[in-house]
Amino acid sequence: METVTLETIHKDLEFVKRELMEIKKRMKNTDSIMTEDDYEALQEYNLEKSEGKLTAHEELKKELGV
């Protein structure tokens, strides 16, 4: 059985930190990836906005009496 010293713990920790930094560099930000449904919804929103079909939330509150 290997004797565990502060030095070996420190070396292992440094190794894990380096590996984690590499993983983080290669990860994609999944919050910034649009699905096909997201893209279609955004396109529909932009079309409705340009056609003036959207109701501002302030106006909707008035209509609903909120």
Which distant-in-sequence residues (6+ apart) come within 8 Å of 63 by Cβ? 55
Residue 31's pLDDT is what? 75
Which distant-in-sequence residues (6+ apart) come within 8 Å of 42 by Cβ? 34
Taking the domains of the chain in order of start, what are their residue ranges? 6-64
What is the arithmetic mean of pLDDT over 41-66?
Answer: 92
Q: How many Cβ atoms from other residues are within 10 Å of residue 14's Cβ?
A: 10
What is the arithmetic mean of pLDDT over 27-54?
Answer: 90
Cβ atoms 42, 34 nearer than 8 A: yes
**pLDDT, tens digit, 9 for 90 and up, residues 13-23:** 999 999 999 99
